[in-house]
Amino acid sequence: MSNRSQSSERAHAQVSVERVTIGLVAKTAGVSRATVSRVMNGNPRVAQDLAQRVRRAAEELGYAPSPVARSLALGRTGIIAMLVPDLGNPMFQGILHGLTDAAAQENYRLLVADSNENLHEEPVLAIEARRRCDGLVLCAPRMPAEQLLDLAPQLAPFVLINRELPGFATPSLTIDFAAGIRDLVTHLLSLGHRRLAYLAGPDTSASNHARVQALHKAAEGTFELVELPCGATFADGHAVADQLTDLQVTAVVAYNDLVAFGTLSRLHELGINVPAQMSIVGFDDIPFVRYTTPPLTTASVPMDQLGPQAWERLWALMNDKSPEENVHVRPRLEVRGSTGPAPSR
């Protein structure tokens, strides 16, 4: 290659690099770099004729502002985060999808952190996620309330899902777990069940405590309740199912749908007919429940609504506005094939 050709390529490369700089836009429009920056960042205080000149020059040159530079100028990252205890749970995936779509309407992207049901990881991940974004949607059901209250000032602005935080004014979206449990129990009692097992969720789970309290209150003088430590996953439900055969229970209330799936699978393996010999109910109404054998009776939570509502409240906080009132969702009873009349003993 000739020296002339090499010089020409170097000159072309130099022009290409120059074409994307804010300096060339300023020179072409006959304004300062600061004016270009203000126009690119949407500052309404720039005179209209100057703003038009800047935009015209930027369009002619093919200039696009650096996202990093833009975030520094605005003091924003264009990112929000959500912390969940188990990304493998379709319940949280439903919330994430709704949150992602809603945030995208304001050109925001979502960063997801998964604590993997680890109590000690939740506060660490919450702080790290918040440092990297403009706001946080927090679903940390394992974190003690006192610890969360101490962390709250570092996490603001943030929105809570699945729990409330008395003593700190942050929006929350909660599920009426007690109402959902009452509806499930009432349904089972109407079918003649009088000895029920509860497959308990994690000990540290605030929602599990709400379920247990509702069950104890409902059981007073109406049915016998047997509690079995379990967990929150398919494997947990599968592992605990063997214990049910010796308890003489006719119905099972699972902590969530995943636990119910695991239990249902193991009962099939043991040759126990559901619901002829034992009924089972879940909680959440994740997408797969209609396709189990038999389909699962459950308390349905409108997951698709929680994400957009969380975004509305977080967006208000991020813009120094008052968020809408807290949301308290009442689950809807969905009766399917996994429940039937109590078998005669």
Note whether 85 and 155 are same-domain residues: yes
Note whether 280 and 164 are same-domain residues: no
Could you give the number of structural domains in the chain? 3
Note whether 206 and 276 are same-domain residues: yes
Nearest alpha carbon to residue 105 among 80, 124, 125: 80
Note whether 136 and 283 are same-domain residues: no
Residue with tokens 């304004």: 31
CB 203 within 8 A of CB 189: no
Q: Is residue 342 part of a domain?
A: no
Quote the pLDDT of residue 88: 83
Quote the pLDDT of residue 59: 82
State the 10-residue block means of pLDDT for the chain, 345 residues long: 45 42 82 79 76 84 64 68 89 91 92 86 90 91 86 93 87 94 98 98 89 95 96 96 95 97 97 97 94 95 92 94 92 97 86
Note whether 211 and 308 are same-domain residues: no
> What phi and psi, each to the nearest 5 degrees, are found at residue 333?
-70, 125
Quote the pLDDT of residue 46: 80
End-to-end CA distance of the chain: 94
Note whether 296 and 195 are same-domain residues: yes
Range of the domain at 7: 3-74
Q: Is residue 340 part of a domain?
A: no
268 Cβ contact list (under 8 Å, min separation 6): 274, 293
Residue 41 belongs to a domain with what CATH number?
A: 1.10.260.40
